[in-house]
Structure formats: structure tokens, C-alpha cells
Chains A and B, each alone.
Chain A
Amino acid sequence: MTNAFSLYTPRASALHRLHPLTMLALVVFCLVAGLALPGPWGPYVVFLLLILPLAALGQVLPNLLSTAVKIALPFAISVFLIQGLFWTGGTPVVELGPLSLKREGLWFAAQSTGRVLTVVSSFLLLSLTTRPDALMIALDQRGAPKTLTYIVLATIQIAPRFQAKARTILDAQRARGLETEGSVGRRVAALLPLVVPLVLGSIIDIEERAMALDARAFSRSGPKTSLLTLRDTSAQRAGRWLLLLGMIAVVALGIWLRRAA
């Protein structure tokens, strides 16, 4: 069931067996803790002591690490260079001719990178261990708008097909002599013959898809049921409340640590 836009990786792990809302609460806790704790060390503590052990427990540590690095590394390089070199004022740490890396800039870059790493790896942890449809059904059952959950799920599955369609149109236009490489002007000019058929074709597709959904009672009012059964327990419900309390506590701790510093 994996595809380019769904990272879910089936494993027989304890995390995979959790109710999707418990997993969501756990990940939101990691996210809140990573953003609430101060200094460059706060997000890294959450990443190293919370997210990585959880990923190991979910048997998705290599997947999480490789994807998180791919996403966070380009950001880290650019933010360290820009903030380190162009920080106004500050204490030089390394002199590179007319340029110098500033301690304050590097400090800020480390903090920003830590936060990005925490946010990215939290979402990755959720995506790798929780089926998106199960999460959406769980949200549905808690009163989330059905149209919203449908859009999220359909985007995950349909986006790769949309990309494939764009590639097909591009190939067809190239076969008819459209030049898509070279100067910026030429590339921009090549966009129109790609975008027009793609957008028009997609509008027609959307109309047909809306009809197909209607034919399957999507817009019918009244109670809905689900084939997928989501196992929830009183322990997990209690755990979610504890995580909520933990989020409040960690925010309070973050505020206290900032004031104390």
C-alpha cells in the first residue's frame, strides 16, 4: 500500500498496533516538546532521547533517519552558512578572508536546524507507523469533516498519478517538437502547453470523480460505518490524556527555563 506520497511502512511493532489517535498524540507531544524547550539543546534532546528511541521501537529507525537527513541536511547547510556568515555584529569564530563565521549566527542556526529536525522527524514517525486511512477514519469518527479527510487521503494517493499525467503530457509535447530545455525564457514558454492540457484534463477528471463519489452515496447524510476496525483501549485513552497533560507541562517547563536563563 506504499506509494510516493504515503510513507507508511508495515511492521509488527508496538507503535503500529497503537490507535491512530494515540500515535498522533505521541507525535504532537514530541513536536510540542521540541519547540517548547529552549536553546539549541532542547530540540536535539527530544530528537535523540524521544523520537529516535520511538522510531527504533517502531522498527523504522533507518527509514526515519535517511528521510529526515535528506530533508533537513540542505536546510542545515544553508542556514549555517547564511546565519553564520551574515549575522549582524556578533563574535567571529572562524575567519575566512573578508568573511567570518559568527558565534551567535551559528548558535541560531543550530537552534533552527534542531527545530526543523524535530518537526520533520515527528511527522515522519507518524507517517511511517500509522496508516493514513486509519488516521483519517479515526478523525472522522471524532467528528472531523468527511470532505476534509477525503481530500487528505485522496491527495496522498492521487498526487503521484497527477505527476505521471504531467510527465505524459510533457513527453507528448516534446515529441511534437516543444523545447523544454535551455534558457529560462524557453522553459517558461514551454510551461503553457504543459499546464493548459493538465489543468483542463484535471477539471474533467474532477467532474467524473465527483459523479463517481456521488454514485457511491458519498454526499448522503446520516451515520457512516467503517470496514476498518480501530482497536482502542481505556489504557490508550488514559495515555492520550496523559500526553495532553505532558504537553502543558513541557510548555510550562520551557517558559520557566527561558525565564531562568
Chain B
Amino acid sequence: MIAVRDFTYTYPAAPRPALIDINLEIAPGQFVGVVGANGAGKSTLCYALSGFIPDFYRGDVKGSLSVAGRDLCKTPVAELAGEVGLVFANPFNQITGARFTVREELAFGLENLGRPRDEMVARVDEALRLTGLTELADRSPYALSGGQQQRVAIASVIVLRPKVLVLDEPTSQLDPVGAREVFETLDALTGEGATVILAEHKLEWIAAHADRVIALRGGRVAADGTPREVLADASAEELGLMPTRYTLAARLAATQGVVKRDGPLPVTLDEAREFFGGRQREGA
């Protein structure tokens, strides 16, 4: 569904490209985590996958990028609202300020698309339900917590029913409760068949929720595979990725001879339980 071919992008007046020779294919319904150190190109990839490059950010573009056969390099962002949605790190900046309740905020995009009122009501109700915001529908978006505001931002994008949802560090300003709310919402969305592309530093959350992880370094794809393949690999730290606490514990246990190391190290709690549990039983 998403096809990126030999994509290289340089910001205006930048001395070198922010993305270099990116080649990716992302199937519908996948939950893809994009990881990497600061400056690796995560945000730039998010802007490219949501059409903001080159429509909003000009600069030098080479290669091609398409969603469902639609060339993102030639389509204005406003025309992509039903195809791709983008959620930013700062929930405050995504609230329009032009509507006074959460329900009206969610309807803003549909109003701009000229959808009939009956359809709007049904789609807003559905988005409220999916993001767990039904109880807050008549509150001001500015009267909500950070996590709730970020869910409003996500809801106001998914109400447009984009085939692809791109999120650029949506939990970076949230506490653990807010981050959990966001990830639960994303799980619900992938359950409904949406493709989710999430740039994120919280690797434990990525490991627990993503189907696939793409690691960037210096604007290039440095690793691409399952969370376990990418995040538990010894070379992950070279990419600027801090291994999850489960990987670190398993590595330490293996180094000190507490457990025998065979196969990949765990990256999630479930995998760690299996890793240590299986070996303890062997030991017993």
C-alpha cells in the first residue's frame, strides 16, 4: 500500500539530505515503529509519508512516494485528508482553537470536506468511541489533560478515516498514563484495519505494540524487521537505541551465566517471562 522508492530529501538550504535512498513497502494494517537517535530522520520520514514533504516543506526531492497508488509528491496535503493523517508531538498545537467542544473539534475536518451533518454525527461518535472520548465529548478540548488532548488530536484525524495514520512522537510530552492511553488507542485502530506508522523513542512501548520496526541512522534505513530482530540485536546500541530493560536483564543474566543464551534476547515482558521461565524450568 505504501511504496517508497529511492527517496532522498534535502531541506531548503540544508547542507546534506535528511533522508537518503529510502526504499520501503508497508502493507495495509501494519503497525510500524520508526526508531532512531535524534536527527536520524524520523520526523522527516513522517512528514514525507503524510505528504507534507514537498507540499509544505519545499526542498530537493528525488525518488517517489505513494499511498494506495497516489503520488504524495504531487498531491496537496489538503487533498490527502482522507488518505493519510498526521499527528504531532505537541497535542496543544493540533487543537484548532476554532471549536469549543471535543465533539465540534472532531467535526472540523469533516466540515472542511463538506460532509453532510448526519454523516458527521455518526463519524464523530465512532471516533469518540474508538479513542475512548465519548464521556468528554462536550468538554472544551483545552480543559483536558495532555493524554486526553493527544487522543483528541488522534480522533480528529481518524474521524477523516485515513488509510494511513502517521504519528510523530505523540507521547513525548505525556506521562506514562497518557502514553498508555495513546498506545491503547493505536491498538484499537490497527484492530480496525488502519495502517499505523509511529516515530517514537519509547522502545518498550514500540516492542510491545508494533509489528515491524524501522531503525534510521543518518537519514538511511539501518535496520528493518520485527521488534525482536531490530531492538534485541547487539548492533541496536550503535544506532543510538537504548535496549529495553528486558533485553538488558536477559543479556546480563546470560553474561553472568545465570541462564544459557540461545536465540534472540527478549524485548517485551511476555518474551522475558518466556525467556527466563523456560530456562529456569530447564535448570530445575
Contact = CB atoms under 8 A, between A and B. Distances in A.
Interface stretch (A44-52, A85-93, A225-233): A225-233
Interface stretch (A171-179, A208-216, A235-243, A251-259): A208-216
A224 B140 CA distance: 23
A218 interface: yes
A6 B113 CA distance: 27
Given A133-B99, A157-B142, A215-B77, A226 B88 contact: no
Residue of B92, B111, B113, B157 ringed by the most chain A CB atoms within 10 A:
B111
B81 A215 contact: yes
A217 B78 CA distance: 4
Contacts of B160: 216-217
B124 interface: yes
Residue of B78, B79, B88 ringed by the most chain A CB atoms within 10 A:
B78
A216 B108 contact: yes
Interface stretch (B115-123, B188-196, B227-235): B115-123
A154 to B, nearest CB: 4
How many chain B residues sit at the interface, stated as a range, is 35 or more
Contact of B100 (A1, A218, A222, A224): A1
Contacts of B94: 208-209, 212
A197 to B, nearest CB: 16
B78 A214 contact: yes
B41 interface: no
B96 A213 contact: yes
B114 A223 contact: yes
Contacts of A158: 97
Contact of B88 (A6, A156, A212): A212
Given A205-B93, A218-B78, 6 more contacts: A153-B97, A153-B99, A157-B97, A212-B94, A217-B79, A224-B111
